Structure 1
Amino acid sequence: MHQPGVVQLVVISDIVCPWCYIGLAELQKAIKETASELQLTIKVEHRPFLLHPSMEEDKVLDKAEWYLEKFGADKLEHVKSMVQGRAKEVGIEINFQGVMTQTIRAHRLSRKAYVLGGQELQEKFLDRIFKAYFSEGKDISDFNILGDLAEEAGITSKSEAIEFLTSDEYQEEVETMAAEARKKGVTGVPFTVINGRWAVSGGQTSEVFGQIFRKLAGKGPLRPIPNAPTCDNSGCPIAAASVKS
């Protein structure tokens, strides 16, 4: 049952989606700017989505080549400009160098972070792994890199993280959550479910999230929510429907 003054958000995303990184930064900004003012407690749980569900966990692709194949040279320049422009606005860096990999292992660590430390620990890990992937071009399927990121975020030691990753802990849970999102009609991410009743699609701005929070607090109208870029199986970014109920 929904508690008065509490907003429950479930954010479905994948770590190789640039709009998920941008969307996380925008959401965090909106919460920081409005939660205290509106006297709201905003609780966030991040759940997995697999943009490349059939990709083997050990397969590594060149990211630049992957994007070039998906979009072609001319469209890719437009994509880069749009993504990097929005990223700069929220103080993060996104480049298109490095490698493209499956994200199940990263999602397993994200899930472990949430179980151990809730939203705070999970978002600390997500902030770090998004930066590693998009700003530093790191292989986020590599056990040693994931171990370092888990230790930096405070989830566990590097050696314990590697031991966890070589097990099957949270493997089935992550795969089931990702499959259930698709069964419920989620085809692109980020996808944010609000109080289990409404959903907002795409990398929305902090202003849009703030408007939603004000409406939920009874302190403002809800204007039409614009379409926002999202990622799906065919690549990203693309335009997506903005609101579902």
Structure 2
Amino acid sequence: MPDAPSFRVDVVSDVVCPWCVIGYYQLAKAARDTGVELDLHWHPFELNPEMAEGGENLRDHLASKYGTTLEGSIQARARLTEIGAALGFTFNYADDMRMYNTFRAHQLIDWAAEQGKGHEMKQALFSAFFTHREDISDIKVLADAAACIGLNHADAQAMLQSRDRTDRIRQKEQFWISRGVQGVPAMVFDHHHLVTGAQGEENYARILLHLRDNRAA
């Protein structure tokens, strides 16, 4: 029997976006349930490109940016934690959790991708931020995360300190913005079908089956 075909999925997301985590986990479960093989490619998007060094209290940040109330924040965190747990991901919110600039994190993911570990790096940084509440703008934290997935700690640190990938990441971000991506997660299936937001396992399964059926037709 021939191998099942794989479908390219370009995922535009940010490391500090909880719905990007959920959207990916929903998509991954839909792929397992339908038997569809995914060829994932992660792309950078910054929710807070102007975030200062050291970050900002997450709850204060959301209140300032979106007008989120304390009650709304408590409810949203509980909902995200419940959804994440059902999918196998741990959201570990705390009152002192901070939002950080993610530009260096995107540089690290891009660098890891060149070594065949972009997906693993993305997952490690999701966990570093949401589960372990680490400062994913800090070069040492990022280099440690790279080492945890088998990449060279010193090389990762040197790359981040050099800023050699600054223009490359800016260009990638602008590419997706120029194509209409204004929020994340944004997923492009098989180069043609753009889907935004975390769609849920059933909707992702329908998309994957539709693509598979069209390819077979």
**TM-score, normalised to structure 1's length?**
0.78
Q: Does 1:91 align with 2:88?
A: yes
Gaps of at least 5 residues in structure 2 are none
Q: Match for residue 18 of structure 1?
A: 18
Structure with bigger RCO (C-alpha 8 Å, 6+ apart): 2
Report how many residues are paired. Answer: 207
The offset of 1:146, in angstroms, is 0.5
The residue matched to 1:138 in structure 2 has which SS? coil
Q: Match for residue 127 of structure 1?
A: 123
Contact 2:59 2:73 in 1 (8 A): no
Give the root-mean-square deviation of aligned CA atoms: 1.9
Paired with 1:142 and 1:89, the residues of 2 have a C-alpha distance of 30
Gaps of at least 5 residues in structure 1 are 220-245
The offset of 1:158, in angstroms, is 1.5
Q: Does 1:143 align with 2:142?
A: no
The offset of 1:68, in angstroms, is 4.1
Q: Match for residue 108 of structure 2?
A: 109
CA distance 1:32–1:170, shift in 2 (3 Å): farther
Q: Does 1:100 align with 2:95?
A: no
Higher helix share: 2
Paired with 1:23 and 1:169, the residues of 2 have a C-alpha distance of 31
Paired with 1:75 and 1:41, the residues of 2 have a C-alpha distance of 38
Paired with 1:17 and 1:100, the residues of 2 have a C-alpha distance of 10
Q: Which runs of 4+ in 1 moved over 4 A?
A: none
Pick aligned residue for 1:72 from 62, 69, 72: 69
Contact 1:63 1:96 in 2 (8 A): no
The residue matched to 1:136 in structure 2 has which SS? coil
Q: Does 1:55 align with 2:55?
A: no
Percent pairwise identity = 27
The offset of 1:161, in angstroms, is 1.0
**TM-score, normalised to structure 2's length?**
0.87
Paired with 1:52 and 1:180, the residues of 2 have a C-alpha distance of 17
